[in-house]
């Protein structure tokens, strides 16, 4: 049997394709190493969280963890996304957990330091 | 003589203190390991890039690299921030380089994968 748990990487979304491409690249290492993972957009781009949930539910998945690809939590993560999740849970009878935005995890601060060290090396060349 | 090069970590800014605290935490590993580094906000919070530049210039620093704490590039990074930098360069006679947003660097995608692996472990408990 396949893993009944699905990860949804939730990005804001934009009508600008370059914006979405950036998030698709950011998601690549996760999608490559975690079997049941997908990217979804809050607005202005597809797929939505609901699309992902509906498809996965058809395959028998009933538990979802939403990991927001946001550095910090503003109105979207405090209000809009929980409301969307509540609605999807009601519609599809699944379990969904909203994780903290990625920026709350110390791995991000460490990655930023590594990026800055590379930028500093470029600047001094 | 001190290093004449300064790193500015540029966050969006918000009137919500929790937002700024998240970015201050994200900046910590960088500020700890890179001597001439500081955080600045594009709008709605202090210090601004100009405040940092003016203070550093008084100490003899004339070169700045701005690293945007943004996952992707939207209008702010394509238009507003370059215009702000152009103005500061004119006003203060310094050199400033705008780096890519952190989300363009592969370290970020790897950090996201690590975060998701931790979230998955929590979910399965």
Tell me the average pLDDT across A84-108.
Answer: 97
Give the pLDDT of residue A1. Answer: 45
Mutate to test the interface with A, among B9, B17, B108, B124 (most CBs of A within 10 A): B108
State how far the alpha carbon of A81 is from the alpha carbons of A49, A67, A98, in Å.
10, 11, 9
Distance CA A28, CA B13 (A): 28
Query: The sheet that has B37-41: what strands, in order across it?
Result: B37-41, B5-11, B63-68, B95-98
Tens of pLDDT, residue by residue over A36-55, are 999 999 999 999 999 999 99
Which residues in chain B land under pLDDT 50?
A: 1-2
For position A122, what pLDDT does the model report?
87
Quote the CA–CA distance of B69 and B10 in Å, as a whole number: 6
**Mean pLDDT, rounded, of chain A:** 94
Interchain CB distance below 8 Å, A120 and B33: no
With beta carbons under 8 A apart, name residues in chain B contacting A77: none
pLDDT of residue A123: 74
Mutation site, B65, B74, B106, B107, interface A, largest A CB count within 10 A: B107
Spatial neighbors of B59 by CB under 8 A, at least 6 apart, are B2
Residue in chain B nearest A24 by alpha carbon: B109
ipTM of the complex as predicted:
0.94
The strand pairing partners of B9, in sequence order, are B39, B67
Domain that holds residue A112: 5-124
The number of domains in chain B is 1
Q: What is the pLDDT of residue B125?
A: 56
In this prediction, residue A76 carries a pLDDT of 94
Contact B108 A111 (CB under 8 A): yes
Q: Residue ranges of the alpha helices (H) in B1-125?
A: 17-33, 49-58, 75, 81-92, 106-124
Distances (CA, A) of B15 to B12, B43, B44, B77, B122: 11, 9, 5, 20, 32
Alpha-carbon span B24 to B39, nearest angstrom: 7
Q: Say which of A33, A99, A118 has its CB closest to residue B113.
A: A33
| Alpha carbon distance, N-terminus to C-terminus of chain B | 54
What count of other Cβ atoms lies within 10 Å of the Cβ of residue B46?
A: 9
| CATH number of the domain that residue A93 is part of | 3.40.50.1400
Query: A56-86 pLDDT, tens per residue?
Result: 999 999 999 999 999 999 999 999 999 999 9
Tell me, what's the pLDDT at A125? 56
- Sign of the Cα torsion B14, B17, B22, B26 reads positive
Rounded Cα distance between B89 and B29, Å, is: 28
Contact between A112 and B63 using a beta-carbon 8 Å cutoff: no
Provide the pLDDT for residue A80: 97
């Amino acid at each position: 049997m396949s893993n009944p748990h699905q990860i949804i990487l939730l990005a804001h979304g934009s009508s600008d394709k370059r914006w979405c491409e950036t998030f698709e690249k950011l998601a690549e290492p996760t999608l490559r190493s975690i079997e049941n993972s997908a990217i979804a957009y809050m607005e202005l781009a597809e797929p939505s969280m609901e699309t992902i949930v509906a498809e996965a539910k058809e395959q028998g998945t009933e538990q979802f963890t939403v990991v927001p690809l946001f550095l910090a939590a503003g109105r979207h993560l405090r209000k809009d996304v929980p409301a969307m999740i509540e609605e999807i849970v009601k519609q599809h009878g699944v379990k969904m957990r909203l994780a903290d935005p990625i920026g709350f995890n110390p791995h991000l601060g460490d990655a930023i330091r590594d990026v800055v060290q590379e930028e500093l090396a470029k600047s001094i060349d």
